[in-house]
Amino acid sequence: VPDEVDQNLRSDARDNRDRIVEVARAAFAADGLDVPIREIARRANVGVATVYRRFPTKEALLTAAFADRLAVCLRIVEEGLAATDPGAAFRAVIEQLMAVHAQDRGFARAITSQFPQVYDFTKGRDRTLTGVHDLLRRAQRAGAVRADVRLGDVILALMANEGIRAEPAELRVAASRRFAALILASFRPGPDAVALPPAVRLPLPIRG
């Protein structure tokens, strides 16, 4: 029954692809984005040629590994943009983004890196950051965030969140939740707010 054989082959191929992506995600989280393709092939128990057939470049593999997380981040931002209370929406989005980043350190690293220019990934990141920027401005107009907070401060906070290295992931997520609350407290306006030193423009490839 050739059709069945063909289907099995395709099913095997899909399993291979899924396993490579899963192994890559774990490898990037544990050991950084520099893990070589041959090491990922070794851990996935497939040949290097198999990896290259599915992912012609390291960038393609990185993009595939982080596609789900990126979609989650976009959904978080979209839900925030659809919410009615600008202060609460900004707050919830920052908390949730930091939680996603704390869960997957490889993704967190990719999102704040000079990531190799891959269209889908950088487009997704730009949309996320543009949305966060909108949410920040709305929260500021509503008086829920101090006026001198910049998008660069949010990026700084996301980068800083990445510095939290506790293991296992649950401890890191709990630490990150505490950190998010501190950062959001620092963004609150108040009559006795202290002036901040100059904002810093971090050289991420972002628009807006």
The contact set with a second copy (CB under 8 A) reads: 112-113, 153, 156-157, 159-166, 171, 174-175, 177-179, 181-188, 190, 192-194, 196-200, 202-203
186 in Cβ contact with 192 (< 8 Å): no
125 in Cβ contact with 206 (< 8 Å): yes
Give the C-alpha separation, 186 to 198, whole Å.
15
Judged by beta carbon, residue 21 or residue 135, the one nearer a second copy is 135
Give the C-alpha separation, 202 to 51, whole Å.
34
Shortest distance, CB of residue 133 to a second copy, whole angstroms?
A: 17
Shortest distance, CB of residue 57 to a second copy, whole angstroms?
A: 24
Shortest distance, CB of residue 173 to a second copy, whole angstroms?
A: 10
Q: Is the dihedral of CA 136, 150, 140, 191 positive or negative?
A: positive
What does each C-alpha distance from 150 to 29, 76, 99, 126 come to in angstroms?
A: 29, 20, 21, 16
Judged by beta carbon, residue 147 or residue 194, the one nearer a second copy is 194
Shortest distance, CB of residue 195 to a second copy, whole angstroms?
A: 8
Nearest to 21 by CA among 56, 63, 49: 63
Judged by beta carbon, residue 52 or residue 179, the one nearer a second copy is 179
Shortest distance, CB of residue 135 to a second copy, whole angstroms?
A: 18
Judged by beta carbon, residue 17 or residue 125, the one nearer a second copy is 125
Shortest distance, CB of residue 144 to a second copy, whole angstroms?
A: 11
Judged by beta carbon, residue 83 or residue 181, the one nearer a second copy is 181
Q: What share of the chain is helix, strand, coil (3-state, %, to 5)?
A: 70, 0, 30
Q: How many CB atoms lie within 10 A of CB 73?
A: 25
Phi, psi of 144 (to 5 degrees): -90, -15
Judged by beta carbon, residue 67 or residue 173, the one nearer a second copy is 173
